[in-house]
Amino acid sequence: MAFCSFSREFNENACTEVENRFITKYLPVADGFAVKVYLYGLYLCRCKDSDFSLRSMAEVLKAEEKAIADAFRFWEDYDLVEILSDDPFAVNYLPVRNDGSRPKKIRYEHYGDFNKELQRKMQSVGKFVSYNDSIKYMRFLEENDIQPQAFLLIAEYCINKQGEAVSPSYIFNKAKKFLANGWNTYEQVERELSSYNANEKDVTAVFNALSIYRKPDETDYALYRKWTEEQGFKRDGVLEAAKKLKRGSMETLSLLLFELFEKGKTSAADIRAYLAERDMLSALTFKIARKLGVKVSNPAPYIDEYTEKWYTYGFEEDALFALALFCMKTDRGDFGSMDELIKKLFKSGVVASEAIGEYLKVKNDELKLFIKLQTYLGPLKKSEANLSLIETWREWSFSDEMILEAAKRSAGSAAPIPYMNKILSDWKHAGTFTLSAIPEKATSPAHRSAAANNAAVEDFNAKAAREKYYARLRDVAQSSAEKYLKKAQTSARFKEISTKLSRMEYELARAEISAPEKLPALQAEKRALLKERSDILKGMNLTETMLSPQYKCKKCSDTGFLSDGTACDCYPQGGESGGAVS
């Protein structure tokens, strides 16, 4: 039987290797001679052809045979070797296990210095390490890959943080977090704790800005190092972002900082400017959404896809509101449809507010003509294709009178728009551009068919007249409100207050949920702003009421129908001729 040999589980290699777990866990608790015996025996395991014995090893190591045998018995207590025979002496090496199992026997005498140092540190805050607690600490060292001196550093850190409230479980939890990150040597733990101490004031300042009331832990310090060392943020930049959030978690702040990092905004000044612009774009997005009739809860995706791009194009706020209102009127009440329109305008160089105003004047005039066409042709869809026909017909040199005449002649047709195109195309080909030049025979079969059914035509015309009446009422109310709002917005202070009030709605909603103690102050500020805005309006001979549409009928808001779907009784007897629109 060989003096020293590998067990079957031991993985044989061409060189003598020492497992890291032996170095970190067992080497610190053994004396130098025991380590020397273990390493030399490990070397002999590789030398299969050698004829070594306990005596041979004693001669090489210049030691007594008993001393060598005792050293192997020491390692046997730790399950690192198995003594197969005392005569002749034979040892079988076992693998250094990684399954968390502890040695059979703890050599408490090897932890004397450790226990004295731990006791000294604990007594500095008036604590005493009991016998049972001492056993817990030594068991922890046996069961985990951590150097005793590294553990003492962690214990000292915990003692400084917790004072007399420190407990073994707190120290163990802290040590486990270090181990989870692979920090188990004195040098590694010292480096990490130095970083904690260096960043403690900064992380505490971030916690204060975010209204976090717990104490920072390893995860918080790791995040702070990521922001400052990997992403390049300075302390004031991190705090600027944290103050913007006001409330939240370190994870929420990390998401915001990642967005800023992606945008290349890492200095405090850049962050402040970027976040102010985001606030402005958020308020702008909400206002545009209201004009479009779209409900928006989170403006971020709309800003990224639409509003920021439009702002970069150079479109001013008033121009965007006017375009949004036009899109809503033309049944294109969504951000995607508005984006298509804005891209066409930008491509054509129509960006300035004056140019947008001229464009919308033409388009609104076309829209009014389209509404008149509906009185003859029925409820046509306000699609881009249908609306664009008016522009085309005008380019053919037809007046509105000629276009309306073609609509009258197309009434009752199964496909009125294609029939109108045919009539106008024939007139253009014949050079007929005035009503007097239209030949009598131009009366269409469709027109004659419609005239033959007078009852149906009269009913259709009555319905169209009713819709036209209410459309005109709404247009008057909305145009009046827009005119007054435009006048009010000539005051820079009025616009500033309106922006603040829009943002305050969000702050009030958030405070109501997460910080009710802030509600009274916010509500007081809101009342003050509303009072100031009312005074500004009064100085311009305006009121808050004048800024929103004042419909003639309060019951149906000039739609002609009540909330239950029944017709409102506000329509004048005898039709539109029986009442006037003021």
Q: What is the pLDDT of residues 384-411, one digit of tens each?
A: 778 888 889 989 999 989 999 888 888 8
Q: For position 448, what pLDDT does the model report?
A: 45
Distance (Å, whole) CA 140 – CA 142? 5
User: Domain tally for the chain?
Assistant: 4
306 and 257 within one domain: no
Amino acid at 290: R
Q: With beta carbons less than 8 A apart as the criterion, state whether 77 and 107 touch.
A: yes
Burial-class residue 30 by CB neighbours within 10 Å (0-12, 13-18, 19+): buried
The verdict on residue 10 lying in a domain is yes
Residue 280 lies in a domain: no
Q: At residue 453, does pLDDT exceed 50?
A: no
Q: Domain for residue 28, yes or no?
A: yes
Angle (deg, nearest 10), helices 416-430 and 400-410: 130
DSSP codes, 329-356: HTT--SHHHHHHHHHHHHHTT--SHHHH
Tell me whether residue 570 is in a domain: no
**Same-domain status, 16 and 163:** no
Three-class secondary structure assignment of 131-168: HHHHHHHHHHHHHCCCCHHHHHHHHHHHHHHHHHHCCH
Which one of 266, 301, 321 terminates a domain?
Answer: 266
498, 287 in Cβ contact below 8 A?
no
- Cβ neighbourhood burial of 171 (10 Å; 0-12, 13-18, 19+): buried
Query: Residue 1: is its pLDDT beyond 70?
Result: no
Tell me what pLDDT residue 78 has.
77
| pLDDT tens for each residue of 48-92 | 656 788 898 999 999 999 999 989 988 887 778 888 888 888 998
Q: Is residue 98 part of a domain?
A: no
Which of 459, 488, 522 corresponds to the end of one domain? 459
Last-in-domain residue among 156, 184, 212:
184
In this structure, the answer to whether residues 76 and 146 fall within a common structural domain is: no
Mean pLDDT of 459-472: 75
Radius of gyration over every alpha carbon of the chain, rounded to an integer in angstroms:
43
Q: Are residues 121 and 221 in the same domain?
A: no
Confidence of residue 107 (pLDDT cuts 50, 70, 90): low
Q: What is the DSSP letter of 228?
A: I
Whether the Cβ atoms of residue 574 and residue 505 lie closer than 8 Å to each other: no
What's the first-to-final CA gap in the chain, in angstroms?
118
245 within a domain of the structure (yes/no): yes
Q: How far apart are CA 18 and CA 40, in angstroms?
A: 11
What is the 3-state secondary structure of 371-420? Answer: HHHHHHHCCCCCCHHHHHHHHHHHHCCCCHHHHHHHHHHHCCCCCHHHHH
Whether 307 and 452 map to the same domain: the answer is yes
* pTM of structure: 0.42
* Amino acid letter for position 299: P
Whether 253 and 329 map to the same domain: the answer is no
Q: Provide the sign of the torsion angle of the four alpha carbons 419, 420, 421, 427, taken in this order.
A: positive
Whether residue 213 sits in one domain with residue 139: no
CA nearest to 234, candidates 208, 259, 269? 269
Q: What is the pLDDT of residues 202-248, one digit of tens each?
A: 888 888 888 888 878 778 888 888 898 889 999 899 999 998 888 78
Query: From CA 545, how far away is CA 343, in angstroms rounded?
Result: 35
**Does 165 or 440 have the greater pLDDT score?**
165
Does residue 580 form part of some domain? Answer: no
Shared domain for 360 and 444, answered yes or no, is yes
- CB–CB of 411/377 below 8 Å? yes
Distance (Å, whole) CA 109 – CA 484: 91
| 373 shares a domain with 303 | yes
CB burial class (10 A; 0-12, 13-18, 19+) of residue 164?
exposed
144 and 202 part of one domain: no
What does the pLDDT read at residue 62? 92
Distances (CA, A) of 506 to 237, 282, 391, 512: 25, 11, 43, 10
Region at 571 (left for phi over 0; alpha for psi -120 to 50; beta for the rest): beta
**pLDDT tens digits along 339-376:** 999 999 999 899 998 999 998 898 888 888 888 888 88
In DSSP notation, 83-135 reads EEEETTEEEEE-----S-PPPSS--GGGGHHHHHHHHHHHHTTT----HHHHH
User: Is 449 contained in some domain?
Assistant: yes
70 lies in which domain range?
4-93
Q: Which residues face 561 on adjacent strands?
A: 567
Mean pLDDT of 277-292: 90
What residues pair up with 75 in beta bridges, in sequence order?
Answer: none
141 contact partners, CB below 8 Å, separation of at least 6:
111, 114, 148, 151
Q: 561 — phi, psi (to 5°)?
A: -135, 140
Domain match, 338 and 448 both: yes
Q: Are residues 335 and 256 in the same domain?
A: no
Rounded CA separation 568/558 (Å)? 9
